[in-house]
Structure 1
Amino acid sequence: MENYYFESNRVIRELRVGERVWRSGIENRARQEQDGYSAWWQSFLRGAPVFVEDCNATSEPIRVVDAFCGCGGLTLGAAQAAIAVGRRIEAVAAIDVDDGGLEVHKANFGTKHVLHTSASSLVDFHVSGTGVDSKFAYEPEVTDPALASEVGKIDLFLAGPPCQGHSNLNNRTRREDPRNLLYLTAVALAVGLKAKMVVIENVPEVVNDRSDVVTAAKALLRANGYDFLDSGVLAAHEMGWAQTRKRYFLVASRRGGSPDQLTLKSVAAGLKREAHSLGWAIGDLIRDIEDPVPTGVMDTVPALSEENRARIGYLFKHDVYELPNQERPDCHKDGHTYPSVYGRMYWSKPAQTITTGFLTPGRGRYIHPARPRVITPREAARIQAFPDSFRFVVNGHDPARNALTKWIGDAVPPVLGYAAVLPLLATR
């Protein structure tokens, strides 16, 4: 499906679906000789701009609404998928309760409508029945005036409703969290907007929700004219990425399938590659001792406690990657459920899933493989597939660290968004 090759100082990506072929390019910023795919995405991480190579590409933008948007990881993935098929996106609206995340979204995509509110407040709907018998009691109505002015004009609706209620890390309300029903709010908003295409993402465990929100969502979409419907888990590391992260995607389209319709499974198969290592993603960010001391919130980490300095020091002194039982705090001793905590990362392996706790050694394997510290926000962003050109700024200034960890850790890696949106755009 994809072919990468070098042309002068650029890397060219050729996407082929049936009889159609699209070409896009990127300035080659890879630091060492490697295959075209690796050079492309490494150049992307280092901030090289991606451009449409086909001069006959349409200039009509794909108009996008992103609900529960955070800082815009899913929008960034959609933008890359659009470029791959000779298009561009127009960010019509971003919706979230996090005003800082919305500022980041606008800074990067020039978002037209920035709606700092709960998505539930923007649409009037009621679902009757459950599971396969679910249906809207009446047609969902968009209630916000700005968003209502866009009804019938939206090409792609994106949503990443809160996933904490589904996550295996949530030991209290797993599968029964009321936030899980926001999954159906996303469907109602998409239907109310009359969006042509829909992409909803969540953790893989969403399919185990006791309210059966995924089955209900599929029933609601089918009943409202979405005649192409597909779902499945996409794994970043199975598509060559340097992080073992999985997400569940539900994609739908009003225009149905074509003879060469891509599916999530076929896209995953077409993009399948051996995972890159952590060193591939962030190795160039190590500074020599004579380099200037880094400043700014993206390139620094908070001060560690004396106890955590000692734990990290033990790892480096003994050149080990797992903290032995006797060096752990009491709450993490003797067969703790999460053995990777206080762990040192491996240069030669992909990173574990990046979460909002990446600045804390006791919340995962986040200790840098070559420096006695946790990874920086910039390193975490790279691992999450955010390029250096992505601006994590609020009103032109650095945000607080706790905001950064939330945006980066909660984001959908753009490489996964790219794969999920591609079957909708490449067969239209």
Structure 2
Amino acid sequence: MVVVDQHTTLDSKRITDENNRLGCDCFDVSNRWLTCIDLFAGAGGFSLAAKNVGINVVAAVEFNPNACKTYTTNLVEAGIPHLYNVDIRALNPLTIAVNHFPDGNGCDILLGGPPCQGFSVHRINDSGIDDPRNELILRYFDFVGHLRPKVFLMENVPGLLWQRHRHFLDEFYRQARESGYLLRQPEILDARDYGVPQRRKRVFVLGVRRDIDLTIDWPPCPTHGDDKARLANPVLQPWLTASAVFNSPVCIGDKNNVHMNHTSALVDVFRRTPPNGGSRKDSGRILSCHVNHNGHRDVYGRIDPNQPGPTMTTACINPSKGRFVHPTEHHGITLRQAARFQTFPDWFVFNGGLIAGGEQIGNAVPVRLGEVLLRTIKEALLAWERSHD
């Protein structure tokens, strides 16, 4: 029997059978400080942020084949040991425990952003309540319970806090308490307050194992702000605007320097859309779906380069889905520009084509925001470790 932690044991034959089924080997991880597992890793925004602040990402889990190809191209080939390309519901958490933490100590940090479409603000009325993907938030905690990380950080959309979804969060908190974790209150953070050139609000839930008396300033103080915030706190830098995305040259041969093809009629619509904003109301073009409808004013709108950009959604390369038209040119934004809004470096290549690339970008944690959050966690854990030497 292999002792995984104080709660669980696992027959070594079972773990070998599981490895054979998944096509993976056992891994000898000699450097455990600080270690991290990234669940629902997507294209790798959280993993890249962890790597950038000096955290050892031991393994990641992702099911989407295009996201896995992107992750492999940019991160596995750059040194992250293993990506489990598998439906997380079919992956035994103890597989990761035994493969990567054979001494039974578990990882230091567990990351993850379970799919959030069922909690999305774009859902109408009660749609999304029965979305089976909502259950994945509880599957995330299955891994917390088995890997016993010192700290875990979960990301999701603000809709998670809505009353109609509250039972998922309540159950998550109940399981956390029963497993010996203290959870901070969910925090809604806006990425533009942390050096990301877009308005993007997301919920972050931080959990700390009860035996870790961690001193941490959470959430981290904003690093950027508007004029009013900077007047109150002169240390803050100004919000980064969309001009940071569009003013930098694009590398020759960048396969992500592509945008949607538009009909000549739609290009004419964009020509009539004024700079620094506008919307479908300004083009003079009325679609049947917009008759007697005053909502969705942002569609076909131009991005204002003097303000932080709009939230990069999974449809961010499609101007019919939001304010995603180039500030001065008559087309939607490119994949590279969308990736820059998410603070991915230009060397980071998204695979799978235009639509798949946009989905990966829209689902990602902005790299710069991830760096601020993970640097704060890392410093707190290192301070705790030093105090217990």
Q: One-letter code of the match for 2:378?
A: L
Cα gap change, 1:257 to 1:281, in 2 (>3 Å): farther
Structure 1 segments unaligned to the other structure (5+ residues): 1-58, 124-141, 288-293, 394-398
Distance 2:277 2:194 in 1: 29
**Which secondary structure does the structure 2 equivalent of 1:299 belong to?**
coil
2:126 matched to 1:170?
A: no
Distance 2:254 2:291 in 1: 35
Deviates more, 1:345-354 or 1:271-280: 271-280
Answer whether contact 1:300 1:377 (CA < 8 A) is retained.
Answer: yes
CA deviations over 1:211-268 (Å, ceiling 9, x no partner): 522222122122222246453111012234310001100111225344x52111xx13
- Answer 1 or 2: which has greater strand percent: 1
Cα gap change, 1:94 to 1:149, in 2 (>3 Å): same
Distance 1:89 1:176 in 2: 36
The alignment-based identity, stated in percent, is 25
- Answer 1 or 2: which has greater helix percent: 2
Q: One-letter code of the match for 2:340?
A: R
| 1:62 aligned partner | 34
- Normalized against structure 2, the TM-score is what? 0.77
2:168 matched to 1:213?
A: yes
Q: One-letter code of the match for 2:202?
A: R
Q: How many Å apart are 1:367 and its aligned residue?
A: 0.6
Answer whether contact 1:154 1:193 (CA < 8 A) is retained.
Answer: yes
**Which of residues 246, 258, 280 in structure 2 aligns to 1:323?**
280
Distance 2:32 2:85 in 1: 28
CA deviations over 1:271-327 (Å, ceiling 9, x no partner): 65432210023312379xxxxxx65531121311233112112225x8862332631
Cα gap change, 1:98 to 1:185, in 2 (>3 Å): same
Distance 1:339 1:114 in 2: 41
| 1:285 aligned partner | 249
Q: Which aligned segments of 4 or more residues in structure 1 are displaced greater than 3 angstroms?
A: 227-230, 255-258, 268-274, 294-297, 333-336
CA deviations over 1:34-61 (Å, ceiling 9, x no partner): xxxxxxxxxxxxxxxxxxxxxxxxx864
Distance 1:404 1:319 in 2: 26
Cα gap change, 1:369 to 1:231, in 2 (>3 Å): same
**Which of residues 362, 365, 371 in structure 1 aligns to 2:320?**
362
Cα gap change, 1:372 to 1:71, in 2 (>3 Å): same
- Normalized against structure 1, the TM-score is what? 0.71
2:99 matched to 1:149?
A: yes
| 2:140 aligned partner | 186
**Which of residues 91, 101, 105 in structure 1 aligns to 2:57?**
91
Cα gap change, 1:239 to 1:211, in 2 (>3 Å): closer
Q: How many Å apart are 1:402 and its aligned residue?
A: 1.9
Answer whether contact 1:175 1:210 (CA < 8 A) is retained.
Answer: yes
| 1:235 aligned partner | 190
Cα gap change, 1:241 to 1:422, in 2 (>3 Å): same
Q: Quote the RMSD (CA, aligned, Å).
A: 2.5
Deviates more, 1:373-382 or 1:218-227: 218-227
2:221 matched to 1:252?
A: no
Answer whether contact 1:230 1:252 (CA < 8 A) is retained.
Answer: no
Q: One-letter code of the match for 1:310?
A: D
